[in-house]
Structure formats: C-alpha cells, structure tokens
C-alpha cells in the first residue's frame, strides 16, 4: 500500500476513534445527568401530586371519584385546571414547566398509583391497576398522604421507563455525533491527503534519485530541501552519492594509473629484451641495472596495491613492540641519505636525546617514514633541504618531515591522503607513484592509533607530520 493511502487511512481511523470515544463519554455523561434531572423532577412532582390529592381529600372528605384527578392529569391539562393552589405552588418555587407538561403522569414518567389504607389501589394514572393490591416491587417512590395528621392513603410511583423526551434528546445527540463523525472524517481525509502529499513527494524524489544512482548516473542528486528528517536523509543520500562518484572517479584513475605505471617499465623491459635478442644492444651491467630498476618499480606498485587492499579489508597486522626512536631513524636515514646525496639535497635528522621508546610495529613506521621521505625527495629540487625531526607530546611522539620542495596547492592539500590521488603537477612529471604512498601511510598511522597531517606552501615547501604512541611499562 502506498504511503499516502496509509497516512490518509490512519487519519480517518483516528478521527473515527476520537469521535467514538467522545460520543461514548459524552453519552454516559449526558445519560447520567439526564437521569438525575428526571429523578429530581419526578420526586418534585410526587410531592406536588401528593398535595393535589391531599387537598382533594380535604375538599371531599373521602376518595370518591378521585380517579378523575388522575384522568385530568393524564390528559395533560395539568394543574391549571381545577387546583389553583398547585399552580401557585409551582410558580412560588419558580419552577417552570412547558405547556401541556403539567404533572404528566403516564408515558414519560412512569405510573402513579393511589392506595387506600389497606394497600388496595383506588386510583391510578393507568386505570387497569384499580382494584389490585399495590405491588411490592417496581416501586420507585412512595409517599404517605395525611390529612390533619391522619393517614388517608399512599401515593406510589412505579419505576419509570425513559420518557419520550429523553429518548428524543438522546437520539438528537446521536444524530449530532454522527454528523460530527462525518465532518471529522471529511476533514481528516482532506488533511490526510495534504499531509501525505507533503511527506511522500520528497520520498518519491529520493526514490527517483536512488534509482538513477543505481543506474550508474552518479552525478544525480536528490533535490530535497526540507529541514526535517527526510531532508537530513536526502542530504546524507547526496553525501553518499558524492562519495560514490568520487570513489568511482578514483577507481577509474587507479585503473588508468596502474595500467600507465605498468606500461612504462614493461615496455622498457620489453624493448631492452628485444634489442638484446636481436643483438642491437649487448648485455652489459648497465642494461641489467636499468632493467632491474624497472622490475623494482613494478614490484613497488604491486606491493602498494596489496598493502592498500589489506588496509581495505581491515587485515593490517601489526607486530608491536618496544622500539627506540633512534633505531627507526637510523634505518630510514641510511636508506634516504644516499638518494638525497645523489640528488644534491641536504638531509638531516634532528632527534633530541632521551625520547621515550615507542610502542609500534617498527617495519610499518619505517615504511610510513620512507613513503613521506620518498615524496620529499621526489618533489624537492637539487640544492633543497629535507629535515626529519621527532618531538615528544603527551603519550606520543610527533615525527615530521620538512622539505623545501615544490609545495602543494591549498585546494589539493586535503586530498593528498586520499587513495589514488595525485596532483596535476605530479602527474605532469615522470617518476611519481600511483597516488597510494600517503594513503598507505595514513592507514598505517591510524592502525597505531595516531594522526597524520600535512602543511604546505607552494614553492616554499611542505611538512608532513604524524604521531605514534609511546611505550608504557605494564604495571607490576
């Protein structure tokens, strides 16, 4: 079922439920107060009727023909006929009765009976009772009638059924409730449709965007600008699309770069081998060294790719142990100093004495330093300078490699740690890597719980820094 239909149906059900509850509660309340009102009314009437009958007895000194009083009242002529005292009594109490209501024994009030002193019915609003004994049950009120202090009879009212006006009142309330339900359902339906449209249209837009994305239209974005949760979902969706697009671009770059990186050394090797085969060149130590260099280049690329896939799979295993900072720096300096010399770049290591030991996998941290130093050597021109330093921090050591090289544009600085990222400058020159060196360095540093960052100014130089944890002696 569509969301819009679900919302509309829920709204209608809610409106129906609310009307039902309100009508039930108001029905109970109305019935209670109505019963109350009728009870009060009846006992008041009983008294008035008693007075009416007592004055009849006083006037006649017996009950002969008393049925005429009941008949007169049953016809609804009320107290205005005959017994003026009653009329005054009613007015005196300020009680207002509608025309024709009178004492209205009968249909809407229950039956009134007059019994003599022996309990025999001598008059009744329903004349079929006359001559019978007063019933024991079904008596709602009974009022002994006295004249000059002597009992002359008893006025009895049998339990009343709901009168006509009560049922009319209840049915008019029911009618009004039904109308209220119809109006509430209509309003709920209108609001349901409006709200569901409002809610479902951004979702529909998101669905379209998701389908387009699934169809590899990676540049498509969801045009949802609401400030609610759906808006948040849309902006997360767009972020996801953005990162998918970026990753797809990087993946394409990687394939192109890897192919390119492999093609160059492979074609050099192939050319050399074919020339040797055709005896165009002779096998000399120089050709073998240059061919070996190309094999090393391919090897490095394959290693980097393997490293990055391990990091992707979360399978970088670290053999951590207590390591002296000097131990690492010596290894790195030995490997980099000769290359620096060859390129006429001055290389120095600035390591203060007394640094705490590290808690690292030494091979991995050497690799991080070598990746950063390889870049520094690659992007620094002859006559430049590279400095490796280490300073203590809180529970960590901060290593930095500073160079006086080409520097990195501010806009590119944020991307240098991304996989397969290469700046346009480095693309244009030969000898660059595949854009994996810094991404691998970042994975390795983060696997140790450290951070890595870069600062740079174009044509002034760059500085790459990272932190690694110091070794803490186990307590005891």
User: In angstroms, rounded to a whole number, what is the distance separating the alpha carbons of residues 252 and 346?
Assistant: 38
User: In angstroms, rounded to a whole number, what is the distance separating the alpha carbons of residues 206 and 202?
Assistant: 6
Kindly state whether residue 379 participates in binding ligand ADP, applying the rule CB under 6 A. yes
Parallel/antiparallel/unpaired status of strands 139-147 and 321-323: unpaired
Q: Which residue has the tokens 């109505």?
A: 34
Among 102, 192, 432, 450, binds ligand ADP (CB under 6 A): 432
In 10 A of CB 385, how many CB atoms?
A: 16
- CA distances (Å), 304 to each of 210, 307, 366, in order? 34, 5, 15
Nearer to ligand ADP, 285 or 382 (CB): 382
Q: How far is the CB of 214 from ligand ADP (least distance, A)?
A: 31
What is the length of the chain?
Answer: 476
Among 49, 155, 406, 444, binds ligand ADP (CB under 6 A): 406
Kindly state whether residue 109 participates in binding ligand ADP, applying the rule CB under 6 A. no
Kindly state whether residue 423 participates in binding ligand ADP, applying the rule CB under 6 A. yes
Nearer to ligand ADP, 69 or 439 (CB): 439
Does residue 30 contact residue 37 with C-beta atoms inside 8 Å?
Answer: no
Nearer to ligand ADP, 224 or 408 (CB): 408
Q: How far is the CB of 467 from ligand ADP (least distance, A)?
A: 18
Q: How far is the CB of 447 from ligand ADP (least distance, A)?
A: 17
Q: SS3 of 178, please? A: helix
Q: Of the listed pieces 61-69, 138-146, 162-170, 374-382, which binds ligand ADP according to CB under 6 A? A: 374-382
Q: How far is the CB of 309 from ligand ADP (least distance, A)?
A: 16
Q: Which residue has the tokens 């008393």?
A: 66
User: In angstroms, rounded to a whole number, what is the distance separating the alpha carbons of residues 75 and 220?
Assistant: 87
Q: Of the listed pieces 171-179, 321-329, 330-338, 423-431, which binds ligand ADP according to CB under 6 A? A: 423-431
Q: How far is the CB of 340 from ligand ADP (least distance, A)?
A: 13
Kindly state whether residue 265 participates in binding ligand ADP, applying the rule CB under 6 A. no
User: In angstroms, rounded to a whole number, what is the distance separating the alpha carbons of residues 122 and 114?
Assistant: 6
Kindly state whether residue 347 participates in binding ligand ADP, applying the rule CB under 6 A. no
User: In angstroms, rounded to a whole number, what is the distance separating the alpha carbons of residues 156 and 305?
Assistant: 107
Q: How far is the CB of 416 from ligand ADP (least distance, A)?
A: 4
What are the tokens at 410?
């501010």
User: In angstroms, rounded to a whole number, what is the distance separating the alpha carbons of residues 188 and 180?
Assistant: 12
Count interface residues toward ligand ADP (CB under 6 A). Answer: 24
Kindly state whether residue 422 participates in binding ligand ADP, applying the rule CB under 6 A. yes
What are the tokens at 415?
């991307």
In this structure, what are the phi and psi dihedrals at residue 41, rounded to the nearest 5 degrees?
Answer: -60, -45
Kindly state whether residue 408 participates in binding ligand ADP, applying the rule CB under 6 A. yes
DSSP summary character for residue 106: B
Burial class (CB in 10 A: 0-12, 13-18, 19+), 322: middle
Among 52, 123, 416, 468, binds ligand ADP (CB under 6 A): 416
Among 102, 163, 405, 450, binds ligand ADP (CB under 6 A): 405
Q: How far is the CB of 387 from ligand ADP (least distance, A)?
A: 12
Nearer to ligand ADP, 125 or 456 (CB): 456
Q: How far is the CB of 390 from ligand ADP (least distance, A)?
A: 18
Encoded one letter per residue, x for contact with ligand ADP by CB under 6 A and - for no contact, window 354-373 reads -----------------x--
User: In angstroms, rounded to a whole number, what is the distance separating the alpha carbons of residues 395 and 450?
Assistant: 11
DSSP alpha helix (H) spans, 164-277:
164-214, 229-277
- Residues 433 to 462 in contact with ligand ADP, rule: CB under 6 A: 433-439, 462
Where along the sequence are the contacts to ligand ADP (CB under 6 A)? Answer: 371, 375-376, 379, 403, 405-408, 416, 421-423, 425-426, 432-439, 462
């Amino acid at each position: 079922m569509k969301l819009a239909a679900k919302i509309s149906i829920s709204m209608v059900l809610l409106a129906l439920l609310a009307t039902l509850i309100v009508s039930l509660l108001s029905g109970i309340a109305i019935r209670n107060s109505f019963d109350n009102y009728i009870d009060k009314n009846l006992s008041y009437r009983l008294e008035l009727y008693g007075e009416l009958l007592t004055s009849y007895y006083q006037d006649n000194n017996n009950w002969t023909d008393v049925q005429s009083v009941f008949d007169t009242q049953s016809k609804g002529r009320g107290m205005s006929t005959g017994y003026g005292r009653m009329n005054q009594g009613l007015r005196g109490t300020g009680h207002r009765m509608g025309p024709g209501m009178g004492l209205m024994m009968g249909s809407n009030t229950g039956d009134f009976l007059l019994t003599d002193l022996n309990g025999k019915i001598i008059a009744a609003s329903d004349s079929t009772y006359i001559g019978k004994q007063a019933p024991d049950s079904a008596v709602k009120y009974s009022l002994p009638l006295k004249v000059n202090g002597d009992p002359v009879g008893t006025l009895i009212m049998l339990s009343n059924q709901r009168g006509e006006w009560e049922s009319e009142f209840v049915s008019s309330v029911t009618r009004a409730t039904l109308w209220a339900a119809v109006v509430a359902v209509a309003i709920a339906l209108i609001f349901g449709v409006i709200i569901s449209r409002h809610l479902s249209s951004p979702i529909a837009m998101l669905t379209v965007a998701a389908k387009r994305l699934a169809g590899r239209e990676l540049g498509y974005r969801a045009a949802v600008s609401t400030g609610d949760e759906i808006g948040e979902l849309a902006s997360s969706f767009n972020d996801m699309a953005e990162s998918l697009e970026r990753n797809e671009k990087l993946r394409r770059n990687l394939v192109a770069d890897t192919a390119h990186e492999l093609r160059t050394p492979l074609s050099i090797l192939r050319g050399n081998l074919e020339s040797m085969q055709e005896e165009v060149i002779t096998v000399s130590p120089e050709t073998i060294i240059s061919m070996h260099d190309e094999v090393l280049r391919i090897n490095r690329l394959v290693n980097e790719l393997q490293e990055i896939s391990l990091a992707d799979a979360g399978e970088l295993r670290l053999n951590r142990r207590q390591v002296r900072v000097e131990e690492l720096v010596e290894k790195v300096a030995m490997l980099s100093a000769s290359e620096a010399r060859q390129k006429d770049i001055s290389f120095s290591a600035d390591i203060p004495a007394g640094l705490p030991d590290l808690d690292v996998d030494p091979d991995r941290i050497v690799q991080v330093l070598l990746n950063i130093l390889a870049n520094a050597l690659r992007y620094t021109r002859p006559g430049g300078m590279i400095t490796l330093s280490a300073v203590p921090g809180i529970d960590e050591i901060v290593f930095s490699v500073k160079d006086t090289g080409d520097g990195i544009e501010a806009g590119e600085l944020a991307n240098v740690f991304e996989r397969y990222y290469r700046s346009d400058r480095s693309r244009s020159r030969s000898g660059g890597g595949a854009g994996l060196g810094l991404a691998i360095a970042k994975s390795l540093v983060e696997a140790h719980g450290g951070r890595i960052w870069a600062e740079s100014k174009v044509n002034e130089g760059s500085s790459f820094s990272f932190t690694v944890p110091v070794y803490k002696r186990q307590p005891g």
